[in-house]
Amino acid sequence: MDKVAVLIPCYNESKTIEKVVTDFKNSLKDCVVYVYDNNSTDDTAAIAEKAGAVVRHEYQQGKGNVVRRMFQEIEAECYIIVDGDDTYPAEYAAEMVDKVLNRQTDMVVGDRLSSTYFQENKRPFHNFGNSLVRFCINKIFKCDIKDIMTGYRAFSYRFIKTFPVLSRGFEIETEMTIHAISMNMSVENVIIEYRDRPEGSESKLNTFSDGMRVLKTILNLFRNYRPLQFFSLVAAILLIIDLVVFISQVWLPFRETHVVEKFPTLIVCGFVGLSALLSFFSGMILDSLWQKERREFEFRLKQAMRYGKKTK
């Protein structure tokens, strides 16, 4: 088992990968740097290997697929995951590692948004999207994560080995955050400086399509991790619509004429009311199953910790 593993998922980062590998090897003397090449069409893999990284490959396209492969294959006491585009300074890695190894923190978030991100990043929709995602998750899950979508994080062994990677693309960061919050894992923030990509290096993010995928991921994880709140909200919306239509279209005319003039509307209102009731009880059932999953997860955490101690 490595003491510290630096994991770098890469796709066409030949202009920056050498500097990233070198910076982290200099900043963390006892680390092993792993570069996972994701079907690059340039010399990313060769340059990384020449710089001293252990190079491996993931042939399913998408950052989530790369992270899944990395988390399955690498054994370490502490993991640093960072992008290969040289936007995250390596000098903050030692502080992040210290929090994992000495404070037993499960996930350390490299917080860009509290420092230079909004000044350095030249894409205004990315700025808005990061702020929106942070607001939504902190409100829905009642937490205080400063940067949801940062690509610079540190993890404990038990987080890595119990985290089920379901996302395929850039929404993986959102999934990591929500998993840590929902499973009551220890999370800390470290404010880092962010620098925009150097000239000639291009982002792989598509502002709108990737943004929509992230918002869809938040909605799905809200449903999966907070089923009672999610389905209660659905039930409340259905019930409000049902009452508004029933009162305006059925009840008020009935008071004047003492005749139900719109039987189809009355029938539809009945079915919508039943749907609201079913949604609420579905949430209650799923919440019971979720509590059972939480208990089973605690046992998996203990097993992961026992296995980790044996392999040190």
2-225 falls under which CATH superfamily? Answer: Spore Coat Polysaccharide Biosynthesis Protein SpsA; Chain A (3.90.550.10)
Nearest to 124 by CA among 29, 237, 208, 182: 208
The pTM of the full predicted model, rounded to 2 decimals, is 0.83
- In the prediction, which pLDDT does 240 show? 97
Q: Hey, which residues does 189 pair with through a beta bridge? A: 109
Return the minimum-mean-pLDDT range out of 135-139, 184-188, 308-312: 308-312
Q: What are phi and psi of 155, to 5 degrees?
A: -135, 155
Give the model confidence (pLDDT) of 84-103 as tens digits: 999 999 999 999 999 999 99
pLDDT confidence tier of residue 304, bands split at 50, 70 and 90: confident
All structural domains of the chain with their residue ranges: 2-225, 227-311
The predicted model gives 122-147 an average pLDDT of 83
CA angle (217 as vertex; 202, 238 as ends), nearest 5? 140
CA distance 200 to 197: 8
Please determine, for residue 221, whether its predicted confidence score (pLDDT) is greater than 80: yes
Q: What is the dihedral of CA 237, 240, 246, 252, to 10 degrees?
A: -160
Residue whose C-alpha is closest to residue 210's, from 293, 149, 292: 149
| Digit-coded pLDDT (tens) for 140-199 | 888 888 899 899 999 999 999 999 998 888 889 999 999 999 999 999 999 999 887 776
Percent of the chain with pLDDT over 90: 67
How much of the chain exceeds pLDDT 70, in percent?
94
| Better pLDDT: 111 or 208 | 111
Q: What pLDDT, in 10s, does the model give residues 14-36?
A: 999 999 999 999 999 889 999 99
Q: Judge residue 17's burial from the number of C-beta atoms within 10 Å of its C-beta, 0-12 exposed, 13-18 middle, 19 or more buried.
A: buried
What is the overall mean pLDDT for the chain?
Answer: 90
